[in-house]
């Protein structure tokens, strides 16, 4: 029998209980910085040191955190479903938990790329990217992150995955950043949809949607068990 496909869209909230700060919550990362100050092409041109430092700190922290029960539950789901994860997160906690199919919409902290050739992407050794670190073509390396105002190259495969979902699960995202926030509208009307977020809005008009206002670490394992039992 063919496995049903579950597509997951995750955001910063799934990693919150691992100790990774979200962007927009109280105490979120964007409380300390103006977004344009660190996550834009202008910032890179005007204040490269700050941008490098910001992502170096994020990258360094990756070595101090671990996946949590929400990440692991999605791995268990693979025994019974074709699980495809679309994540807005630039951490590697889905991969470290053991998920097989992870599409990073907004890039990856552990990767860096050339500023002259966007196809020249490589893994960074360690956590620190410095001014003067160059790609093989001799230009400065930059974080492999999709900044505000930049294109989201993976949005087309992500939309295709969303169209093909039998079940769609959204976890821990404020759904304020497009195009990611629009993916749920590609999902078939009849497909069951779940939204797990303690601060989820009630005024979300999507067919067949169940909103679960709880933290990911406790509610994702429960939802996963229910989906496996109901299979
Ligand atoms: N479990 C589930 N959800 C949680 C938890 C938790 N333990 N803690 C917080 N949340 C929720 C918050 O309620 C919020 O809705 O996670 C969401 C985090 O929202 P944002 O900080 O806006 O993060 P995200 O939606 O991933 O941001 C999208 O914006 O800054 C850019 O590129 C960056 O990928 C990021 C994008």
Mind listing the pLDDT tens digit of every residue in the chain (231 residues)? 689 999 999 999 999 999 999 999 887 888 888 888 899 999 999 999 999 999 999 999 999 999 999 999 999 999 999 999 999 999 999 999 999 999 999 999 999 999 999 999 999 999 999 999 998 899 999 999 999 999 999 999 999 999 999 999 999 999 999 999 999 999 999 999 999 999 998 778 899 999 999 999 999 999 999 999 999
Q: What are the φ/ψ torsions at residue 23 (nearest 5 degrees)?
A: -90, -45
- Write down the pLDDT at residue 28: 82
Among 127, 145, 163, the domain boundary falls at 145
Same domain, 11 and 29: no
Q: Is 177 in the pocket of ligand 1 (CB under 6 A)?
A: yes
- Write down the pLDDT at residue 173: 97
Q: Is 16 in the pocket of ligand 1 (CB under 6 A)?
A: yes
- For ligand 1, atom 30, the nearest C-alpha belongs to 23
Same domain, 34 and 60: yes
Among 95, 121, 145, the domain boundary falls at 145
Same domain, 221 and 119: no
Task: Please identify which of the residues 71, 94, 104, 106 carries the catalytic annotation.
Answer: 106
Q: Which among 126, 146, 143, 127 is positioned nearest to 135, based on CA atoms?
A: 143
Looking at the structure of the chain, the number of domains it has is 2
- Write down the pLDDT at residue 66: 98
Same domain, 174 and 82: yes
- Write down the pLDDT at residue 37: 87
Domain that holds residue 140: 21-64+111-145
pLDDT tens readout for residues 113-129: 999 999 999 999 999 99
Q: How far apart are CA 136 and CA 122, in angstroms?
A: 10
Q: How far apart are CA 180 and CA 201, in angstroms?
A: 17
Same domain, 55 and 130: yes
CB 117 within 8 A of CB 163: no
Same domain, 129 and 205: no
Q: Which CATH number do you get for residue 163?
A: 3.40.50.1220
- Write down the pLDDT at residue 1: 66
The alpha carbon of 89 and the centre of ligand 1 are apart by a number of angstroms equal to: 9
Same domain, 138 and 221: no
Q: Is 142 in the pocket of ligand 1 (CB under 6 A)?
A: no
Same domain, 2 and 80: yes
Q: How far apart are CA 143 and CA 150, in angstroms?
A: 13
């Amino acid at each position: 029998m063919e496995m049903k496909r579950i597509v997951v869209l995750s955001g910063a909230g799934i990693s919150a209980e691992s100790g990774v700060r979200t962007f927009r919550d109280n105490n979120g990362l964007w409380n300390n910085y103006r977004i344009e100050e660190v996550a834009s092409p202008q910032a890179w041109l005007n204040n490269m040191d700050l941008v490098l430092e910001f992502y170096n700190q994020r990258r360094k922290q990756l070595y101090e955190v671990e996946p949590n029960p929400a990440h692991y539950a999605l791995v268990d789901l693979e025994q019974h479903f074709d699980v495809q994860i679309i994540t807005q997160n630039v951490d590697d906690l889905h991969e470290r938990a053991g998920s097989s199919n992870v599409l990073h919409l907004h890039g990856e902290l552990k990767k860096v790329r050339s500023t002259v050739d966007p196809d020249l992407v490589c893994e960074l050794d360690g956590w620190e990217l410095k001014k003067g670190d160059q790609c093989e073509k001799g230009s400065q390396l930059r974080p492999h992150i999709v900044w505000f105002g930049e294109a989201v190259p993976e949005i087309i495969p992500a939309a295709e995955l969303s169209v093909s979902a039998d079940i769609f699960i959204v976890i821990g995202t404020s759904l304020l950043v497009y195009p990611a926030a629009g993916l749920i509208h590609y999902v078939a009307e009849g497909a069951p949809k779940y939204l797990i977020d303690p601060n989820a809005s009630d005024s979300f008009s999507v067919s067949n949607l169940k909103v679960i206002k709880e933290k990911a670490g406790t509610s994702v394992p429960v939802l996963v068990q229910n989906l496996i039992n109901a299979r």
